[in-house]
């Protein structure tokens, strides 16, 4: 069988393994795998008569595609937990996930792991992408997070319970948790996701529960990870032998030492915190949420710097999928945040965003570096991310996305669109007090443009009725 070749000629290769960039180097790809890399590589290695495509990368950077190890494809850019849990049907959630997958890939993210999401949409999406039916990054997926009444996702009063559409499933007895892990394994997840306390102020699962669930997941051939922000639960997660840990915002010395000695990677996932803290005011995010997330980000700097210094491997994760972390926009910002809040160099950050994420895709040693034998998921970047990591955040700078050795073509017009916001039953974003109407000092009131929802976007009851009125008028 003749081979199909791709030559990416004369770029600066940033290999994703942390080595210094190699200028004037070419990457030769054969049948989806990297065949050779370096200044010596030319088209002469390609036998006459075989298909060769050439890309000129002069003045550009060639690097591995990014891996986002914390990307929730089923959240649908929701603006509230209620939108995720209650107002979005499984059908619309599935379609949205497939639509959004192409945005993620377009931004240079060629691999994602979904640590939790509703139903088994992640499993189906993973398969559709692997089969080439849906355009998107290669993917691994968990099912609904396993949580307790003291962790994430038990948001509502007990009288309401946890809706079927929730991203989590709540169990307070170990036997029920075991039952859930067995069902999720049967239904094709790659990993189990546990969710401990929301803000890390206490440990929600017992260490025994974590250990039993980790052992069972491993026995069934699955990975397991945990949302763990505080010292106690990070320490317990290390003891339990989790495969990687999400967050680790607040860790004491002993926990950092324990984590470092274990070799378990940490996915700090700072993006959502930073976006809410830095820019939440532009989109009407509630003040307590903005302040809480900003505080969490600032306090993380100490733990993460110590963890990095102690040699804990760091991995890019973003919590993309909320309205504050829309798909295909901010993934690469995490690299900048890892530099600022954990002390990584640019080369270390790129490593965190590429080869360090291979394990979360179940492809350690096969993806994330530019080296012979590796799967050719690559980017051609117009700019130098080692000199300026933020170049990876610019859509225009991600010039070419290569997946399995093939240049991906995108429907740019379709990708630029946004999926309409789901209906929620909101009445206002602040209270209509006497002063609002009858003139307190206007400076005490929120500026009208603080809430950038148009009536259309808000999707509330009133605008919904208006829409209907308008459609009646025009018909």
The residue number whose beta carbon is nearest to Zn ion equals 319
| Tally: H helices and E strands in the chain | 15, 17
Residue 132 φ/ψ region, left for φ over 0, alpha for ψ in the -120 to 50 degree band, beta for the rest: left
Residue 377 near Zn ion by CB under 5 A: no
Q: How far is the CB of 75 from Zn ion (least distance, A)?
A: 9
DSSP state of 71: B
| Shorter beta-carbon distance to Zn ion: residue 195 or 335 | 195
Is 381 exposed, middle or buried, given 0-12, 13-18 or 19+ CB atoms closer than 10 A?
A: buried
For tokens 């080369």, what's the residue?
A: 347
Residue 68 near Zn ion by CB under 5 A: no
Which of the stretches 236-244, 254-262, 312-320, 378-386 binds Zn ion when contact is defined by CB under 5 A?
312-320
Residue 196 near Zn ion by CB under 5 A: no
| Shorter beta-carbon distance to Zn ion: residue 204 or 347 | 204
| Shorter beta-carbon distance to Zn ion: residue 81 or 252 | 81
Q: How far is the CB of 249 from Zn ion (least distance, A)?
A: 13
Q: How far is the CB of 101 from Zn ion (least distance, A)?
A: 17
Q: How far is the CB of 72 from Zn ion (least distance, A)?
A: 6
| Shorter beta-carbon distance to Zn ion: residue 322 or 341 | 322
Q: How far is the CB of 114 from Zn ion (least distance, A)?
A: 9
| Shorter beta-carbon distance to Zn ion: residue 15 or 319 | 319
Which of the stretches 162-170, 313-321, 371-379, 466-474 binds Zn ion when contact is defined by CB under 5 A?
313-321
Q: How far is the CB of 84 from Zn ion (least distance, A)?
A: 12
| Shorter beta-carbon distance to Zn ion: residue 319 or 460 | 319
Alpha carbons within 13 angstroms on the beta-carbon side of residue 173 total 3
| Shorter beta-carbon distance to Zn ion: residue 243 or 319 | 319
| Shorter beta-carbon distance to Zn ion: residue 68 or 319 | 319
Residue closest to 361 by CA, chosen among 78, 117, 70, 54: 70
Which of the stretches 251-259, 315-323, 420-428, 461-469 binds Zn ion when contact is defined by CB under 5 A?
315-323
CA distances from 202 to 41, 93, 232, 250, 449 (A): 55, 32, 7, 11, 38
Instruction: Map residues 264-303 to x or -, x wherever contact with Zn ion holds by CB under 5 A.
Output: ----------------------------------------
Task: Give the start-end residues of each E strand in 100-190.
Answer: 109-114, 138-141, 145-147, 168-170
CA distances from 329 to 31, 80, 325, 411 (A): 30, 19, 8, 16
Q: What is the DSSP string of 184-240?
A: HHHTT-SEEEEE--SSSSS--S-HHHHHHHHHHHHHTT-EEEEEE-SHHHHHHHHHH
Token pair belonging to 81: 């937990």
Q: How far is the CB of 107 from Zn ion (least distance, A)?
A: 18
Q: List, in sequence order, every residue forming a beta bridge with 168; answer none if it has no partner.
A: 145
| Shorter beta-carbon distance to Zn ion: residue 68 or 422 | 68
- Kindly identify the residues of this chain, within the stretch 318-337, that bind Zn ion according to CB under 5 A: 319
Q: How far is the CB of 324 from Zn ion (least distance, A)?
A: 12
Give the C-alpha separation, 415 to 461, whole Å. 28
Q: How many residues bind Zn ion (CB under 5 A)?
A: 1
| Shorter beta-carbon distance to Zn ion: residue 69 or 391 | 69
Q: Which residues contact 222 (CB under 8 A, 6 or more apart)?
A: 181, 184, 185, 189, 190, 191, 192
Instruction: Map residues 210-239 to x or -, x wherever contact with Zn ion holds by CB under 5 A.
Output: ------------------------------
Residue closest to 187 by CA, chosen among 280, 231, 122: 122
Which of the stretches 259-267, 317-325, 330-338, 371-379 binds Zn ion when contact is defined by CB under 5 A?
317-325
Q: Give the interface with Zn ion as residue ranges (CB under 5 A).
A: 319
């Amino acid at each position: 069988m003749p081979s199909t070749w791709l030559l990416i000629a004369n770029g600066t290769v940033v290999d994703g393994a942390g080595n210094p960039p190699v200028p004037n180097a070419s990457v030769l790809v054969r049948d989806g795998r990297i065949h050779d890399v370096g200044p010596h590589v030319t088209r002469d290695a390609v036998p006459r008569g075989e298909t060769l495509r050439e890309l000129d990368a002069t003045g550009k950077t060639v690097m591995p595609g990014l891996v986002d190890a914390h990307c929730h494809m089923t959240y649908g850019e929701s603006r509230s937990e209620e939108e995720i849990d209650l107002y979005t049907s499984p059908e619309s959630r599935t379609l949205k996930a497939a639509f959004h997958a192409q945005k993620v890939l377009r931004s240079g993210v060629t691999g994602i792991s979904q640590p939790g999401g509703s139903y088994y949409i992640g499993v189906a999406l993973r398969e559709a992408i692997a089969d080439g039916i849906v355009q998107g990054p290669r993917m691994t997926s968990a099912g609904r997070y396993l949580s307790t009444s003291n962790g994430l996702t038990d948001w509502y009063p007990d009288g309401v319970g946890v809706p079927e559409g929730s991203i989590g499933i709540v169990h307070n007895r170990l036997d029920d948790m075991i039952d859930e892990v067995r069902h999720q394994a049967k239904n094709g997840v790659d990993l189990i996701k546990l969710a401990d306390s929301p803000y890390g102020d206490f440990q929600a699962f017992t260490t025994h529960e974590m250990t039993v669930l980790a052992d069972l997941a491993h026995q069934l051939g699955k990975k397991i990870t945990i949302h763990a922000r505080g010292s106690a639960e990070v320490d317990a997660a290390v003891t339990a032998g989790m495969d990687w840990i999400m967050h680790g915002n607040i860790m004491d010395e002993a926990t950092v030492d324990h984590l470092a000695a274990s070799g378990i990677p940490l996915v700090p996932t700072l993006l959502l915190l930073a976006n809410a803290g830095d820019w939440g005011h532009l989109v009407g995010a509630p003040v307590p949420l903005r302040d809480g997330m900003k505080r969490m980000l600032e306090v993380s700097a100490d733990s993460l710097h110590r963890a990095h210094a102690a040699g804990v491997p760091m991995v890019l994760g973003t919590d993309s999928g909320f309205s504050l972390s829309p798909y295909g926009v901010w993934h690469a910002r995490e690299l900048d945040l890892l530099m600022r809040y954990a002390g990584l160099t640019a080369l270390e950050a790129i490593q965190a965003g590429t080869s360090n994420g291979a394990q979360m895709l179940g492809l350690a040693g096969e993806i994330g570096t530019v080296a012979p034998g590796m799967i050719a998921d690559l980017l051609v970047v117009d700019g130098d991310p080692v000199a300026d990591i933020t170049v990876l955040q610019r859509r225009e700078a991600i010039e070419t996305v290569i997946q399995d050795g093939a240049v991906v073509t995108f429907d740019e017009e379709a990708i630029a669109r946004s999926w309409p916001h789901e209906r929620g039953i909101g009445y206002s974003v602040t209270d209509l007090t006497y002063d609002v109407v009858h003139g307190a000092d206007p400076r005490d009131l929120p500026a009208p443009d603080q809430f950038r929802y148009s009536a259309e976007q808000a999707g509330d009851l009133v605008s919904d009725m208006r829409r209907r009125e308008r459609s009646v008028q025009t018909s």
